[in-house]
Structure 1
Amino acid sequence: MISIRKIFFFAVALTIVFLTNSNLADASTAPNQVSVKLINYLGNKNEVSLNIHGTYSINGSNVHLIEGNSYKVKVENSTTISLYANGTKVKVYTNSFTINPVKYGVENYVSINNRDYLGDFTFTIENGSYVRPINRLPMEDYLKGVVPGEMPASWNVEALQAQAVAARTYALSKINSTIVDTVSNQVYSGYIWKDHNYYKNSTLAVNHTKGEVLTYGGKLISAVYSSSNGGITESNANLWGGTALGYLPAKNDPYDPQNPWKLQITETQIDDSSLNMAWPASWWRTVVEKDPLVTNYVKNWLKANGYANKDLKIAKITGLTLGEEKTSGGRRMYGGYRIEFFVKDGVDGPFRMKDGTLERFVATAPKASFGTIRSMFGGSYIKSHLVDRITYQNGIFTYEGRGFGHGIGMSQYGAKKMADLQKSHKEILGFYYPSAVEDNYIDSMIQEIGGKNRYETSANISKYGWNDANTVVIGRGDNPIDALTGSVLAKKYNAPLLLVHTDSLPDSVTQLLNQYKPGKILILGGEKAISNKVETALRTYTTNIERITGQRRYETAIKVASEVGAASQVFITSDSSVSPDALSIAPYASAKQIPILYTQSDVLTPAVKDFLVSAGTKKVTIIGGTGAVSESVEASIADLVGQSNIDRVSGKNRYETSINIMKTYNIDPRNVFFAQGEEFIDALPGSVLAANYNGPIILVQKNSVPQQVIDYLAEDITFIPQIHYLGGEGAISRDVRNVIENTILH
């Protein structure tokens, strides 16, 4: 890429990839998340500086990176990379480490060598020497950094929208790989769009086309583009080989301004007639070529083609010709060249001498592919294959051509002209990608995890989240009360939570246990909840079985809390088996390993009171309003931990409570789990899955979406999250799903 202030060029290899829901089991390859290797602005550095805006945490630890401190990441040797804070080494890592924002959002970002980026960052070692950050962020926010990197934000918004759709389609086709922030993929400029005034149009372009992609034959197209096609588009097969694609034809483009260019190359780069060829050391360091910018490209090409680790001087560039053969798009297929040059072995090595004088080497090809010639002299100088002529006069060769880039697909300058002529972005895309169909990638962002019943749903949730499991947690399927608090324990052991009948194991669960062959099984609740008959059946899979139970639900929750370990902080919620408040807090509680306890509504349950004292609990958060946990219970807790150490998260109803939990704890919305708020036991095993994704559970009604949920989705989520429906359409209707998806898109 030259400069977004000048002219633009983008070239990619032809690739078509189509994603279906089967790709989505691995969160790292979810279509809403792009992984970008940061090279373009960073270069190759053995250390980089970090400025934190907001708060980040180091993945897998309780260490936080805080705004105001000065951080550096430095490669210590080929296998270790270190983090420094205010000049002091904090931690040494083997090969890599990752930092995550406490909540994904525009208020949390990182400046790396003074360029801002949103999202997560994995710092790796490249080539045993360099710090290489890999930035992971939602697709739509990635595009907000691509569109102004590829096209000036001041251009007509319709051109910018066409650019956004093309860039999104291309990025989605690469979703299962790490792309780079250069023209090798797409120029990604990071979080430059935080300057909302200057980048208003480019950000609007991404927002107004949210999720839009182009498909052909049901698959994503290769939405390649270039700066200028010189007045005629090119077929992909002509330049890159392979099958000609119907949406990438060669045809005249009346909108492209053609952008003529000229390159002059002096034939004699070094006049050696007066140089002492028997003693080249006398002039080697002082003599330079006539056209050093061009000859630097030539030297690099020669070094990549047989002269690695050599010091070269270009003496003469001659024999420049054009073949008569042209593509259907009018582009040159062949050309000729002759390069004469001198060679020295490395910086301090010997000169290549012959018969006592410096030897003149020759690289020549009377008929080379024009792609080779363009690489040799630099794509920034020979700007396209669309060359009209070569002339020779007064010892100078002159290439004259049109366009900039490969000319396949959309012309960025042509898109600008069409937009200025009041053409819509859809008309622009229709002209440059004929036969392509507008589509939306939201279908790839949706995963329904359900089953014929709650037991099969729990098994399918487990299959989705765990390929194997050494520990399995078993809960009662007809009453969620014990299993809800057990989600924190399941997370501790990275264990799926499976629901069973009181007196039997469902077939879906037995099949999964046969697959997992767990080494340990935890049963939540007493014999009335899960009978000895079920325990006996479970012993066919492992003899290492532990039953966690108390006389009542309160004591069972306390036993779970004791098994979890630390209880300096706890959540307390209603003991009602029909209250979903515990489900709403369960993903966050599980991720943070904070126990969930139950209490009676109007009196603090004695067993809970005794536990808070014996555990030395310092912080209590009540989940739910005063109808669920009364003010008198809150007062009793205050007597134990102090009023300043009590919080309450609630809402007007269970739906608003689930939203307020998200907002209070800054829960990452990149992966969102939706559950029905009335018959919610189907979703209970999903609480551990949501915790693994650091995502929330949002409650909805079966046949309608509460206004509080609509408001949150419309106002607080600016990108397309990965959507998980816990249960089938019998739990969350198609109408509700349509409302959710349309709200997120618009």
Structure 2
Amino acid sequence: MKKNNTFFYLCTLLITVFLFITFTTIFSYFMLREGNKASAIKEFEVKEQEITLKTRDKLKIRVYRTKTKTIEEMDIEEYIKGVVAAEMPAEFNIEALKAQAVAARTYALAHMESVGGNGCGQINEGDICDTVHCQAYISKEDRFKAWPESKGNEYWSKIEEAVLKTKEEVIVYNNSIAKDIYYFAVSGGKTESSEEVFSQSVPYLQSVESTGEEVAPKFTSSLRYTNANFVKMINSYYPNSITSSSNLKNNIKIKNRTSAGGVKELQIGKTTITGTKFRSIMGLNSTNFSFVFNGNTVEIICKGYGHGVGMSQWGANSLGKNGKDYKYIISHYYKGVQIGKYTEL
């Protein structure tokens, strides 16, 4: 009888353990499946979000060509190839090129008058100009002339791939195409918030970390002036601001900086000016600058290249090289946005 009881208890224990393991496995499977399903739905919703645009028969953009002073109408996707080719080195990681394509496409649509855009303030006709006032554009023919002959086909194929694999994709904020998509070349380690540079707060244009850009040729730059030449240049804009070059160090004071390190205001002699204005006067690469005084000379040292707002192109390349895809890159530099697709009526 003892043996039978022992055997019975052993069998009961084994069956209980078996049922517990089976139940746990099945439960885990369905929970994992539901979790993956939720993630897939979220990704699906982002990917398939559509923005319906009122367009002409086909979505064409009218580009003002500055050299010929004419309007050239072209397919939007072909135009984006020319923008990517002009704005970002083809040697960059493919994911950075894709991010550039989506940013450029969004910027273009936001300026197309036929879909409710605001056009270009420097031209009377057309949607957009082909300079950095809007975004640079270069034709395939002209781009090939500037590339090494042995690399032309390879580079152009890479750009076409970036544009094709993001075809019709745009950056969306609050169910509309994002109107203020900015990008620039190199940050000094952080991007700038729009309100600190353009005096306009845009929710998705906030300061973020941007690492891995130290390899960029223009990560640092400097200009050197004699004290006398520096004073002459400043006084040509602001007469009698500095009365003497003999004590220049005491005539220059940085009053405040942005959270990313850019100079907001500085005092030069009797005049207070913005960092942006000083950058323009002196031809500096960025507003993230400092002064080094060496006897009869003054050196202005800069970090970064560009206005610093939005996506850093060299930062995007760094992220791409480190395994991040273009959607991650876009969400890193433009906070709270989604990626949607435009459709034509």
Is the CA contact 1:31–1:175 (under 8 Å) kept in the aligned structure 2?
no
Higher CA-based Rg: 1
SS in 2 for 1:325: strand
SS in 1 for 2:263: coil
Distance change (3 Å), C-alpha of 1:140 and 1:372: same
In 2, Cα distance between equivalents of 1:329 and 1:402: 11
Q: TM-score, normalised by structure 2?
A: 0.70
Question: What do residues 169-196 of structure 1 show as CA deviations (whole Å, max 9, x unaligned)?
Answer: 1111001122111111111012346753
SS in 2 for 1:323: strand
Distance change (3 Å), C-alpha of 1:401 and 1:270: closer
Paired position in structure 1 for 2:278? 373
Is the CA contact 2:52–2:342 (under 8 Å) kept in the aligned structure 1?
no
Question: What do residues 439-493 of structure 1 show as CA deviations (whole Å, max 9, x unaligned)?
Answer: 0112xx12xxxxxxxxxxxxxxxxxxxxxxxxxxxxxxxxxxxxxxxxxxxxxxx
Paired position in structure 1 for 2:164? 207
Residue 34 in structure 1 maps to residue 66 in structure 2: no
Paired position in structure 1 for 2:288? 386
Within-5 A mapping of 1:96-245: 132-176=69-113, 177=119, 178-192=127-141, 195-221=152-178, 222-242=180-200, 244-245=201-202
Is the CA contact 1:31–1:139 (under 8 Å) kept in the aligned structure 2?
no
Residue 431 in structure 1 maps to residue 332 in structure 2: yes
In 2, Cα distance between equivalents of 1:36 and 1:270: 40
SS in 2 for 1:440: strand
Within-5 A mapping of 1:211-360: 211-221=168-178, 222-242=180-200, 244-257=201-214, 259-269=219-229, 302=237, 321-337=252-268
Q: TM-score, normalised by structure 1?
A: 0.33
Within-5 A mapping of 1:481-520: none
In 2, Cα distance between equivalents of 1:209 and 1:139: 13
SS in 1 for 2:256: coil
Is the CA contact 2:208–2:333 (under 8 Å) kept in the aligned structure 1?
no
Residue 316 of structure 1: how far off its partner (Å): 7.1
In 2, Cα distance between equivalents of 1:428 and 1:157: 12
Question: What do residues 192-239 of structure 1 show as CA deviations (whole Å, max 9, x unaligned)?
Answer: 467533322111111111011101111222221110111011111111
Residue 155 of structure 1: how far off its partner (Å): 1.6
Residue 133 of structure 1: how far off its partner (Å): 1.4
Is the CA contact 2:311–2:333 (under 8 Å) kept in the aligned structure 1?
yes
Which of 316, 319, 323 aligns to 1:415? It is 316
Bigger strand share: 1
Q: CA RMSD in A?
A: 2.9
Residue 240 of structure 1: how far off its partner (Å): 0.8
Is the CA contact 1:225–1:412 (under 8 Å) kept in the aligned structure 2?
yes
In 2, Cα distance between equivalents of 1:335 and 1:261: 20
Q: Which has the higher contact order (CA 8 A, sep 6+)?
A: 2
Residue 132 of structure 1: how far off its partner (Å): 1.2
List gaps (5 residues or longer) in structure 2: 1-49, 114-118, 120-126, 145-151
Residue 322 of structure 1: how far off its partner (Å): 3.8
Is the CA contact 1:322–1:390 (under 8 Å) kept in the aligned structure 2?
no
Residue 394 of structure 1: how far off its partner (Å): 2.4
In 2, Cα distance between equivalents of 1:135 and 1:189: 12
Identity of aligned residues (%): 28
SS in 1 for 2:223: strand
Aligned residues: 266
Q: Letter of the 1:220 partner, please give it.
A: I
In 2, Cα distance between equivalents of 1:316 and 1:412: 39
Is the CA contact 2:211–2:318 (under 8 Å) kept in the aligned structure 1?
no
Paired position in structure 2 for 1:619? none
Is the CA contact 1:37–1:132 (under 8 Å) kept in the aligned structure 2?
yes
List gaps (5 residues or longer) in structure 1: 1-17, 43-130, 272-288, 290-294, 307-314, 339-363, 447-746
In 2, Cα distance between equivalents of 1:216 and 1:321: 42
Which of 371, 390, 397 aligns to 2:298? It is 397
In 2, Cα distance between equivalents of 1:270 and 1:223: 36
In 2, Cα distance between equivalents of 1:161 and 1:414: 14
Question: What do residues 613-669 of structure 1 show as CA deviations (whole Å, max 9, x unaligned)?
Answer: xxxxxxxxxxxxxxxxxxxxxxxxxxxxxxxxxxxxxxxxxxxxxxxxxxxxxxxxx
Q: Letter of the 1:386 partner, please give it.
A: N
Is the CA contact 2:62–2:74 (under 8 Å) kept in the aligned structure 1?
yes
Is the CA contact 2:256–2:266 (under 8 Å) kept in the aligned structure 1?
no
Residue 141 of structure 1: how far off its partner (Å): 0.4
Residue 403 of structure 1: how far off its partner (Å): 0.7
In 1, Cα distance between equivalents of 2:222 and 2:210: 21
Question: What do residues 665-687 of structure 1 show as CA deviations (whole Å, max 9, x unaligned)?
Answer: xxxxxxxxxxxxxxxxxxxxxxx
